[in-house]
Amino acid sequence: MKKFWPLLILAGISAGVFALGSIRKGDERAKNLLHVADEVAITVNVARPQRGTITRMVQSPGDVEATLEVEISSEIVAKITEMPVEEGDVVARGDLLCRLDDKNLLADVESGEARVAQLGAAILEAEANLEKAQRDVARQASLSESHATSDLEMRDHLTIRKKARAVLDIRRHELAQAEAYLKRVREELNKTVITSPIDGVVSALNAKQGEVVVTGTMNNPGTVIMSISDLSKMQVRARVDEVDVPLVREGQKGRVYLQSDPDKPVPAQVIRVASKGTKELGRDVVNFEALLEVLSDDPRIKPGMTANVEIEVDHRDDAITVPVEAVVHRMRKDLPEAVVVRFDALQAPLDLSERVRQGQYIKVVYVMKEESAEVRLVDCGIADTRRVEIREGVELEDTVIVGPYRSLDQIEDGKKVALAEDEKEGTDPARKDEAKEGELAKDENGDQETSADDDGTTLAGATP
């Protein structure tokens, strides 16, 4: 019996420990009465929601080109004998661009003129023959009345008159054909002198003096001698991703960032969006072409430049925003039941497939309440590169947990949290957040100024 006493004592101690561990305080968040060690707080960074303007941007690459650009090609096959312009020269409408060899065409013109003159003389001869045939017929008719001629002679003279009239008609048709040929040759001769159709600049020069230019056909493009561009009006042909193209509309404001100077945006405006997308060879990405008019005569902009385009697709003047890293996605099973129930109630108006899609992960924000984290279901609006609009779920007086990422990944509702060392200096989170954004804007612009639109609104993420 004595051998079992130690076992009975050990069993009693274990049962007592289990009983003490099962007793809790009234507060559902309180810990067991029996603790081996206190819960370790998760170190977090925080920020205050801000009220202000936010703009949603669509970014896409593009190419700069002149609004009006004309490619100069030849309409005849000939050799370039004179080219008085160079690439970059400024030309006016009607200025000589190049002259083609016209020796063969001059000979054709002389031949055509001679043919016209020859046919003119032939017509005179045919008219004279017809006049004589008509006189003969009239004389034969007079003789026939006195029975001084036969019916056979009368019919012969009528045939001669008919032939004379036919020959005259033939000569007249030949004259019209010759005149048409002469007109075409003269027009081709005029095409040997190529002049500028617009005021502009020679933006590209593809041929040289002495080279032979050819005309194009349906399957074979012709020789493009040069390009004339009107640099007074420029545009950007942007390639918008199919995900963003439903947001882009005619008349929206935009900004163009040149690769040569990305710190100084150029204002622009959307003037057209393609109704059909294109897919690059070997890629599954579909892009839609958006044309933006450049609203500036900035001399930095030149045709052929590559640029990044930002298009303002949505804007809020009085929105509550938080840093984008504050909004996290959580699975339903990892959230309190009250949050899940409220989320399902908000999703009730949607169809079943949409509810299933959106219900896989739920957007939430964690707010610091004293020394613990509290989960909040949020309704997000538009977002830029740094902040996101919160339409419902947080207030300006809340303190939102924004990081670090490892802490956000581990945090749960009711978890104990503590401010990071750099957050314990007593600085207001809202002021610290504003200071950080000011420093970021200063670094982006280099001149201690953020990018602003026409009404002075400061836009986040101005530099792509």
In terms of residue numbers, what domain contains 306?
60-67+236-315
Write down the pLDDT at residue 340.
85
Q: Among residues of the chain, what percentage have pLDDT more than 70?
A: 79
266 falls within a domain: yes
Q: What DSSP state is assigned to residue 88?
A: T
Q: Specify if 354 maps to a domain.
A: yes
Q: Are residues 329 and 277 in the same domain?
A: no
Of 315, 335, 367, the last residue of a domain is: 315
- Give the three-class secondary structure for 77: coil
Is residue 295 situated within a structural domain? Answer: yes
Q: With respect to residue 24, please indicate whether it lies within any of the assigned structural domains.
A: no
pLDDT in tens, 276-314: 988 877 777 899 999 999 998 888 888 888 999 999 999
- Does residue 369 share a domain with residue 254? no
Q: Do 177 and 119 share a structural domain?
A: yes
Q: Which of 28, 45, 19 is nearest to 406 (CA)?
A: 45
Same domain, 347 and 285: no
**Sole residue written with tokens 């509550």:** 320
Residues 298 and 328 in one domain: no
Verify that 358 and 272 share a domain, yes or no. no
- pLDDT score, position 354: 56
Say how far apart CA 371 and CA 40 lie, in whole Å: 11
Q: How far apart are the C-alpha atoms of 376 and 379, rounded to whole Å?
A: 10
Contact of 137 with 157, CB cutoff 8 Å? yes
Q: How far apart are CA 431 and CA 342, in angstroms?
A: 33
pLDDT at 333 over 90: no
Report d(CA 51, CA 67) in Å as an integer: 41
Judgement on whether residues 309 and 343 belong to the same structural domain of the protein: no
Question: What are the C-alpha distances in Å from 348 to residues 331, 342, 343, 344, 377?
Answer: 18, 10, 9, 6, 16
Q: Which residue has better confidence, 290 or 39?
A: 290
Return d(Cα 262, Cα 59) in angstroms, integer.
14
Task: Give the integer Cα–Cα distance in Å for 302 and 293.
Answer: 14
Dihedral-angle region of residue 382 (phi above 0 means left; psi in -120 to 50 means alpha; beta otherwise):
beta
Burial class, 96, CB count within 10 angstroms (exposed 0-12 / middle 13-18 / buried 19+): middle
Round to whole Å and give the CA distance between 441 and 305.
26
281 with 329, same domain: the answer is no
Q: Looking at the structure, do residues 285 and 357 belong to the same domain, yes or no?
A: no
Q: Is 93 a domain residue?
A: no
The pLDDT of 385-396, averaged and rounded, is: 90
Rounded CA separation 100/74 (Å): 9
Q: Tell me whether residue 452 is in a domain.
A: no
Question: For residue 19, is it within any domain?
Answer: no
pLDDT band for position 446 (cuts 50, 70, 90): very low
Tell me how far CA of residue 302 lies from CA of 64, 108, 225, in angstroms.
Answer: 7, 44, 20
Task: Give the pLDDT confidence of 183-214 residue by residue, as tens digits.
Answer: 999 999 999 999 999 999 998 899 999 999 98
Indicate whether 373 and 271 sit together in one domain.
no
- pLDDT confidence of residue 444: 44
What is the share, in percent, of the chain residues with pLDDT greater than 90?
47
Instruction: Identify the pLDDT of residue 27.
Output: 43
User: Structurally, how many domains does the chain consist of?
Assistant: 3
pLDDT of residue 459: 32
Q: pLDDT tens across 344-371, in order?
A: 888 777 666 555 555 578 889 999 988 8
Structure-token match 């008609």, residue found:
169
CATH number of the domain where residue 249 is located: 2.40.30.170
DSSP 14-65: HHHHHHHHH-B-SSTTPPBSS-SSPPPPEEEEEE--EEEEEEEEEEEEEEEE
Q: Rounded to an integer, what is the distance from CA 443 to the centroid of its chain? A: 28
pLDDT of 440 reads: 46
Of the listed ranges 14-28, 60-74, 82-96, 394-408, the least confidently predicted one is 14-28
Reduced to 3 states, what is the DSSP secondary structure of residue 112?
helix
Structure tokens at 439: 């420093």
CB-count burial class (<10 Å; 0-12, 13-18, 19+) for 405: exposed
At residue 34 the predicted structure's pLDDT band, cuts being 50, 70 and 90, is: very low
pLDDT at 26 over 60: no
- Residues 256, 350 within the same domain: no
pLDDT at 80: 93
Asked if pLDDT for residue 438 goes beyond 90, the answer is no
Q: Check whether 220 has a pLDDT greater than 60.
A: yes
Least confident among 81-90, 135-144, 246-255, 395-404: 135-144
CATH number at residue 369: 2.40.420.20
Same domain, 296 and 363: no
Average pLDDT over residues 150-165: 87
User: Which of 315, 345, 377 represents a domain boundary (last residue)?
Assistant: 315
Render pLDDT for 79-130 as a digit per residue (tens, 0 to 9): 999 999 999 899 999 999 999 999 999 999 999 999 999 999 999 999 999 9
What is the structure's pLDDT at 452?
35
Q: Are 362 and 377 in contact (CB under 8 A)?
A: yes
Choice between 461 and 445, residue whose per-residue pLDDT is larger: 445
* Domain final position from 263, 280, 315: 315
Q: Is residue 453 part of a domain?
A: no
